Amino acid sequence: MNIIIVGCGKVGEALAEQLNEEGNNITVIDLDAERVNTVAAKYDVMGYVGNGATHLTLREADIDHADLLIAVTGSDELNLLCCLIAKKAGNCQTIARVRSPQYSSEAPYLKDELGLAMVINPEFAAASEIARVLRFPSAMKIDTFAKGRVEMMKFRLPEGSPLVGCAVKELAGKFHCDVLICTVERENDAFIANGDLVFEEKDVISLIATPKNANDFFRKINYKMNSVKDVMIVGGGEIAYYLCKLLKRSGNNISVKVIEKNLKRCNELCEELEDVTVINGDAAEQALLMEEGLENAGAFVALTNLDEENIFLSIFAKRISSGKLVTKINRIDFDDVIKHLDLDSIIYPKNITAETIVRYVRAMSNTIGSNMETLYNIVKGKIEAAEFNIKEGSPIIGKPLAELQFNCSVLIAAILRGKQVIVPRGYDTIQQGDSVVIVTNHTEIHDITDILK
């Protein structure tokens, strides 16, 4: 596909990298010549210096032959204008990043009236992911399928866990739980689980199950189950705003405290958020954190604009508190280093945005037999989980799974049929209208048939 990306910031660069790896033809546009040259040279894509909201610049970028334009500049208004002009100039599909709460609440209206394919808000998506892990603090990450009816949970095995030394194939008999182990990460390696794999201490495991069955499983392996009752948030930006809204809307009576050093922003949050305690102060001062009750906090969420500060704050919190830790990281360059710091849950807003848009791009090229509904990176660049809606004409319909010739390292993780969730066995079949969740290390799956030999 021919894709134009307007904006070469962190999100634009992440998109250029991932969509280029997917085999698309990428063109980037930005007013900053240095940014354009850096992204163009780093990922071997086309680059133009100019205003992506002008017809002249879009024409130079060959808007007439573009299939998709993605506007991810720092301005919501500019992003919307880019999409509007692109629709008029090239009649291509358009995606706009919209971050402001004022515009975000009107996303459906903007999408319909401007003819946008998608309106994406990375900050709201990141807040939603944080809210999920605060509901279930045992998990490092929770991804949802089938509108929340099935969840994939990632968690780390602590020392002394009853799973240590147990093989995957022994779980059902030993714990009598209907869950499916999908992946195991061990140091720098990542595996799609088979029955003979034996768990070791500090393994990072991803499993898929209904929320009820997941709760049952974690209870039997002595994991903390209850959602947190009080949350300390450092940094009062957009993610913090959305997170406060989500936590208060959850109905779980969660006490929320936000620490923000900018007085003007504190006043804004006080006006916009009810029943949230807002503290004006610098969280880098350990005495302030202790005074505000970090030691006994149920969760600590580091959401400042500086990755280094978020990391140091989380390391400090881990040393003195037993609460759930969530750390926001903007830069994805040092992902391999950061994961060895044992920071519990790490949130990458840029990755969330890229995954959402890549899912849409792949869905645009689906064949008649299926349509991609959801896509998650389980292990970045190595293992993905995807949900497909099976349509009429798919060659996998009606055949027992044991008779299908799958590619190596493909796992059918769940079949969703109406309200029924099926943990698949070899005799199960896939039917028209089913949703199917697959886990694979083939990271360019566009259609359900791509999992077959």
**C-alpha–C-alpha distance, residues 363 and 119, integer Å:** 16
DSSP 3-state helix, strand, coil percentages of the chain (rounded to 5)? 35, 30, 35
Separation CA 165–CA 197 (nearest Å): 10
Structure confidence at residue 33 (pLDDT): 95
Strand, helix or coil for residue 162: coil
Distance (Å, rounded) from C-alpha 356 to C-alpha 267? 33
Q: Which residues contact 340 (CB under 8 A, 6 or more apart)?
A: none
Note the Cα 131 to chain centre separation in Å.
12
Q: Is 363 exposed, middle or buried (0-12, 13-18, 19+ CB in 10 A)?
A: middle
* 144-153 residue pLDDT tens: 887 788 889 9
Give 225's strand partners.
Answer: none
Residues of each domain in the chain carrying CATH 3.40.50.720:
2-120, 230-347
Judge whether 115 and 89 are in contact, CB under 8 Å: no
Q: Are 257 and 248 in contact, with CB atoms under 8 Å apart?
A: no
CATH topology assigned to domain 2-120: Rossmann fold (3.40.50)
Which CATH superfamily hosts domain 142-220?
Regulator of K+ conductance, C-terminal domain (3.30.70.1450)
Residues in a beta bridge with 183: 192, 206
Q: Report d(CA 163, CA 170) in Å as an integer.
A: 10
- Considering the segment(s) 230-347 as one domain, its CATH architecture is 3-Layer(aba) Sandwich (3.40)
DSSP label of 337: H
Superfamily of domain 369-451: Regulator of K+ conductance, C-terminal domain (3.30.70.1450)
Label residue 443 exposed, middle or buried (CB < 10 Å: 0-12, 13-18, 19+).
middle
Cα–Cα distance, 196 to 44 (Å, whole number): 42
DSSP 403: G
Comma-separated ranges of CATH 3.30.70.1450 domains in the chain: 142-220, 369-451
Give the pLDDT of the chain (453 residues) as one tens digit per residue: 899 999 998 889 989 998 998 889 999 999 999 999 999 999 999 999 999 999 999 999 999 999 999 999 999 999 999 999 999 888 899 999 998 888 877 888 888 888 898 899 989 999 999 998 898 888 888 888 877 888 899 988 877 888 999 999 888 888 888 889 999 998 878 888 888 899 998 899 999 988 888 888 888 888 766 678 899 999 999 999 999 999 988 877 889 999 999 999 999 999 999 889 999 999 989 999 999 999 999 999 999 999 999 999 999 999 998 889 999 998 766 666 777 777 889 998 888 888 888 878 877 765 545 577 777 888 777 888 888 888 888 888 998 998 888 877 888 889 999 888 888 888 899 999 999 999 988 767 777 888 887
Give the predicted TM-score (pTM) of the model.
Answer: 0.83
Rounded CA separation 37/70 (Å): 19
Give the span between the Cα atoms of 439 and 208, in whole angstroms: 10
Left if phi > 0, otherwise alpha if psi is -120 to 50, otherwise beta: which for 62? left
Scan for tokens 């033809």, then name that residue.
Answer: 25
Q: Which amino acid is at 449?
A: T
Instruction: Measure the CA–CA gap between 407 and 304, rounded to whole angstroms.
Output: 43
